[in-house]
Every structure is written in C-alpha cells, then in structure tokens.
C-alpha cells in the first residue's frame, strides 16, 4: 500500500461486489463493512446489501486506499451563457461521479468557443452521419 497522506474529504468506500458492475440499475452503494478477501487482498469492503453475518464495521478513522485520476473533461455547453454553462457542466460531472462513489476535486474550470475542425475530405456537417438535415 502506498504511503498514507491526510485528506479532509475522503470518498466513501465502494462495495466490491461484482453485482454493482454487472447488474444494470444497481448503482454505487457506500460500503461500511469489511469482509474477508482473497489471496490478493486481505479484506474487501461491502455495502449493507452484501454484508454477511461475520463482516465487521469499517472504522471511521481507518486509512483508505484512494485512486486519483487526473483527467481533462470537455463537455459542450447546454447554453451560450458562460457562467451557467460552467456551473451546469460541473454539476453534471459531479452527479455522474457521485453515482460511482467518486468525488470531484476541481483544479480549474474554463471555457472556449471552439470552431469544429473539418474532417479530411469533408466539409462542415450539421448533424451526425446519415442525418439528412
């Protein structure tokens, strides 16, 4: 396990049951229980739904392995008002991340007016391929 660092906001533990990944409509659920693991991990976290009788509660102050992914996300604005577009895009991303137990930690939020690049051999398009409009 990597070195321990202090974090004020720790994302909730995620249930390790594969059902959350494979069953459509079964969203992320916070995991409050520690279950025996396997050869690669001594324990796994599980939600109330997947808790078994011998599983133990995870302590509130126990270190948690947190994965941080630095990415650049681009969304087309839903309206031309910059302030509203920025707020709406951040909220949309936040909702999607929350659905999988993630937290959004903003580094920067910017906007640009972008001219779509014409694809080689094609002129400007008004709709998806095959769209007669």
Residues that bind Zn ion (CB under 5 A): 15, 17, 47, 49-50
- Shortest separation between residue 16's beta carbon and Zn ion, angstroms: 8
For Zn ion, the closer of residues 33 and 89 by Cβ is 33
Beta-sheet strands, E only, within the chain: 33-36, 43-46, 56-57
Measured CA to CA, the distance from residue 97 to residue 104 in angstroms comes to: 7
| Residue closest to Zn ion when measured from CB atoms | 15
For Zn ion, the closer of residues 34 and 50 by Cβ is 50
For Zn ion, the closer of residues 46 and 89 by Cβ is 46
Query: Quick one: residue 18, left, alpha or beta (phi over 0 = left, psi -120 to 50 = alpha)?
Result: alpha
């Amino acid at each position: 396990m990597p070195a321990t660092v202090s974090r004020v906001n720790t994302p909730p533990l995620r249930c390790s049951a594969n059902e959350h990944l494979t069953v459509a409509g079964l969203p992320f659920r916070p995991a409050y229980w520690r279950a025996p693991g396997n050869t690669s991990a001594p324990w796994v976290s599980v939600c109330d739904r997947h808790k078994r009788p011998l599983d133990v509660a995870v302590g509130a102050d126990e270190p948690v392995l947190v994965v941080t992914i630095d990415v650049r996300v681009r969304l087309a604005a839903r309206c031309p008002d910059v302030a509203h577009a920025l707020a709406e895009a951040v909220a949309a991303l936040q909702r999607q991340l929350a659905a999988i137990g993630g937290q959004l930690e903003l580094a920067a939020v910017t906007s640009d007016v972008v001219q779509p690049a014409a694809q080689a051999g094609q002129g400007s398009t008004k709709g998806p391929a095959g769209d007669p409009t």
